Amino acid sequence: MTFQTRIDKAIGDKPFVLATDLDGTFLGGTAEGRETLYNLIEDNRDTIGLIFVTGRHPEFIHDHCDAFGIPLPGYVIADVGTTIAQVLSPGLVLPVPHLEAPIAEAWDGKADHVRDLMSKVKGLVLQDTPFRHRLSYDILPDGFNTADLDPVRALDVDVLVSDNRFVDVLPKGISKGPTLRRLIDTLGIAPERVLTAGDTLNDMSMLTADLNAVAVGGSEQALYDALPVSPKIHCARAIGAAGILEAIAAFDLHPISGSP
């Protein structure tokens, strides 16, 4: 599949908007489930808007859309909620400065202090990725203790451990959920028309942002344990993309045909 559909209609005018994590969620599950979801989006560009909300950086987004043929989103919230970008073409993903201004202000002057303290925490390796308003680390198999992060938390930042694999250090109060709410408010999208989708703890703030939400099948157990019971939160049985389709049907957000 190669999708290069031009996105003409403003996302705020579309009846349904999917705001989804990538790894394990939009990119997860069976090939059949992904194909059904991706075709649903491509066949209904006038009625479905797409926002990627991911820990990945913007360069990953345009590389994946171009090389792997996944549907092109209208906007990307990247870097665990610390980047907001508009997608103009597969190779053109541009940050939106006025939306990012509060994020940049909250992170200003903290990166060097965070990096210095994190270098003293055992069992972590700094990720090889471009950092703008955050720092992220991979957890090694041995030696990591979450208590060692307490000095970093004292810097007035948020420290997020997810999937027992990653540690993200973010500006205070900035994460996927608050950034998504600010974006949909700016774009004039009615909250009841949005479905959020995720599978790990770094999606928690997005799934509890008072929007329709789905934790797809196969999600991190810690996410299931932390999620409140709510009529707005659907815990899907189907994995990855098929779990998103399950939630679209459960919330009656858009007609679906050919669902596996």
| pLDDT tens digits for range 106-124 | 999 999 999 999 999 999 9
pLDDT class of 133 with cuts at 50, 70, 90: very high
Q: What is the pLDDT of residue 116?
A: 97
CA distances from 240 to 55, 69, 181, 251 (A): 16, 17, 23, 17
Domains detected in the chain = 11-97+174-250 (3.40.50.1000), 102-171 (3.90.1070.10)
Confidence check: pLDDT of 6 > 80: no
Per residue in 37-67, pLDDT (tens digit) is 999 999 999 999 999 999 888 777 767 666 5
Instruction: Say which range, 127-131, 143-147, 169-173, 229-233, has the weakest mean pLDDT.
Output: 127-131
Between strands 194-198 and 16-20, the pairing is: parallel
Instruction: Say which range, 49-58, 70-79, 81-90, has the weakest mean pLDDT.
Output: 81-90
Which two structure tokens, joined as six digits, stand for 73?
A: 């989103």
Confidence check: pLDDT of 5 > 60: no
Q: What is the pLDDT of residue 189?
A: 95
Between strands 75-78 and 135-139, the pairing is: unpaired
Q: Stretch 90-119: mean pLDDT, rounded?
A: 91
Which two structure tokens, joined as six digits, stand for 210?
A: 């008072």
Q: What is the pLDDT of residue 65?
A: 67
Beta strands in 37-189 (DSSP E): 48-53, 75-78, 83-89, 92-95, 124-126, 135-139, 157-162, 166-171
- The answer to whether residues 149 and 157 touch, using CB atoms and an 8 Å cutoff, is no
Q: What is the pLDDT of residue 140?
A: 96
Q: What is the pLDDT of residue 60?
A: 74
Q: What is the pLDDT of residue 1?
A: 38
Q: Stretch 85-97: mean pLDDT, rounded?
A: 82
- The answer to whether residues 242 and 33 touch, using CB atoms and an 8 Å cutoff, is yes
Which two structure tokens, joined as six digits, stand for 238?
A: 């189907």
pLDDT class of 3 with cuts at 50, 70, 90: very low
Per residue in 240-257, pLDDT (tens digit) is 999 999 999 999 999 997
Q: What is the pLDDT of residue 57?
A: 80
Confidence check: pLDDT of 99 > 50: yes
Q: What is the pLDDT of residue 123?
A: 96
Which two structure tokens, joined as six digits, stand for 258?
A: 């050919």
pTM of the model: 0.89
